[in-house]
Structure 1
Amino acid sequence: MTTLIHDSAHRKRAMSSQAEAVGRELTRYGLVVVVGWIGLMKFTGYEAEGIRPFVANSPLTSWAYGLMSVRGFSAVLGVVEVTIALLIAARPFSPRVSALGSALAVGMFLTTLSFLVTTPGVWEPSLGGFPALSAVPGQFLIKDLALLGISLWTLGEAWRVSDQIR
């Protein structure tokens, strides 16, 4: 009887460790896919126009349209986002490089979360405004809170490992 209980507990621990390991990899490389995919979309007119209200209404980014076109700025963002994704993906080869990518992602998601405050239409007026989020842009932006958390986790994990390698 004791052996059965011990075997069951061991199996449960092994399964939980496997689930955690898969979750860890899916978390990191899911972030890579999301950031990279969205970055590649920045090279399209559709996406350039889609981000226009966020960029134009933000004191952090609105200056960019004075320096370059909507498409040009979107392409620059695309290069930055694809680079961030590649840096994060470098974790097996260089945890330090991956930590840099994650730190840049943290900055990127803090910036996009600031759009919750600066973009018109975030709060749904038919539901009384704050805290009711509109579908777009409100719900579109709030997902970046989870992506910020994932970026912080990947930053901390890669940074810890890079310190151990020295």
Structure 2
Amino acid sequence: MSGQFSSFLRPILQTLAGLSTLSIRLTRIAIAIVLIWIGGLKVYNYEAEGIVPFVANSPVMSFFYAHPTEYKPYMQKEGEANPDKIKWHTANNTYLFSYGLGTVLVVLGLMLLLNTYNPAIGMAGAAMVIIMSVVTLSFLITTKDNWVPDLGDPNHGFPLLSGRGRLVVKDIIMMAGAFFALCDSARQYLLKTQ
């Protein structure tokens, strides 16, 4: 029985093994789609406001905001448009920072896609995505909003991720995929420069 299963499985495994180059391309494209899409969303108020707790609580990034410690009363739900809160976010540089971050994300996505034409650009893009992921993952330490709050349920705090925390922890996949792309770009660069 295992011989029959093995003879059935072997051609499938050989086909999959032959698709490893395609898998690297698909990983690079998937990362680029996420970066370009989310980067493009950074021009919308709800997306800019959604990252405020991360930026405001980050010792590396809080200086981008005019009033990083005062954000809580000005947080809006997705889809809310309170003019007073929007005015505060404008004065806080919330939107301006988000436009800059969005531009960086779109550029990183495009750099990954340019790997086909220039592996050095792909390599630089992948390296910067790794750095971006490390910064994003640091929010798990700096932003307490990443953990289920103590609102009466005995199950709260670390390791129970909130919605924000689940969003952040996914960057582990982004970082691993970018490392995969970085290694492939380095291989392609060395082949082209031999």
Instruction: Say yes or no: TM over 0.5.
Output: yes
Q: Deviations over 1:38-60 (max 9, x none)?
A: 11011111111011111011001
5 Å-filtered alignment, 1:33-112, equals: 33-66=33-66, 69-112=93-136
Partner of 2:116, secondary structure, is: coil
Q: Which moved more, 1:38-47 or 1:124-133?
A: 124-133
- Give the counterpart letter for 1:157 in structure 2: D
Contact between 2:24 and 2:181, CA under 8 Å: does it hold in 1? no
Please point out which of 148, 152, 160 is paired with 2:179.
152
Does 2:190 align with 1:163? yes
The answer for the alignment partner of 2:159 in structure 1 is 131
TM-score, length of structure 1 as denominator length: 0.88
Aligned-residue offset at 1:11: 2.7
5 Å-filtered alignment, 1:113-128, equals: 113-124=137-148, 125=150, 126=153, 127-128=155-156
Aligned-residue offset at 1:121: 2.0
The answer for the alignment partner of 2:27 in structure 1 is 27
TM-score, length of structure 2 as denominator length: 0.76
- Give the counterpart letter for 1:44 in structure 2: Y
**In 1, distance between residues paired with 2:133 and 2:103?**
16
Partner of 2:145, secondary structure, is: coil
**In 1, distance between residues paired with 2:21 and 2:10?**
16
Q: Name stretches of at least 5 consecutive residues in structure 2 with no aligned partner.
A: 68-91
Number of corresponding residues: 162
**In 2, distance between residues paired with 1:157 and 1:20?**
11
- Give the counterpart letter for 2:172 in structure 1: L
Percent identical pairs in the alignment equals 32
